[in-house]
Amino acid sequence: MKSHRKELWFNVASRRAFINITPKVEECLRESGVEEGMVLVNAMHISASVFINDDEKGLHHDFENLLEQLAPHEPISQYRHNDTGEDNADAHLKREYMGREVVVAITNSQLDFGPWEQIFYGEFDGGRKKRVLVKIIGE
């Protein structure tokens, strides 16, 4: 069995963003040489997310609106986590809604997606370097 590990690094200037990382994961898959197996892609920071969905701007706008309704950034005083002097409690909650990681099957050296599926990095507290782990195992 083969195993391949790579870190993807992001430094998003805006507080929040959704970035399609599918091409980067496909590049990792090519590097691995794995033809049949699984890939795990997970955010290594507790204020970021990795998820699968459609790459459509209207949908991303809808995600942003929903997440802001569920866990609004302001007022920051509404969150006990922010009593520590931070202002990112909402980012931790948004990550919980969008998820930590995805696992995708690899078939014939390709990510085995359903229609329209793509892998996204969700940033909820930008302005610093963060990483995503890509771990590929298989034959």
- Maximal C-alpha separation, the chain: 51
Strand pairing category for 2-11 and 37-43: unpaired
The tokens for 32 are 């691995």
Say how far apart CA 107 and CA 16 lie, in whole Å: 33
pLDDT band for position 26 (cuts 50, 70, 90): very high
Q: What is the pLDDT of residues 80-139, one digit of tens each?
A: 999 999 999 999 999 999 999 999 999 999 999 999 999 999 999 999 999 999 999 999
What are 97-113's pLDDT values in tens digits? 999 999 999 999 999 99
Tens digit of each residue's pLDDT (9 = 90 or more) over 33-60: 999 999 999 999 999 999 999 999 999 9
**Domains of the chain (ranges plus CATH)?**
2-138 (2.60.120.460)
> b vs e for 56-74, b when ≥16 Cβ sit within 10 Å of the residue's Cβ?
eeeebeebeeebeeebebe
pTM of the model: 0.96
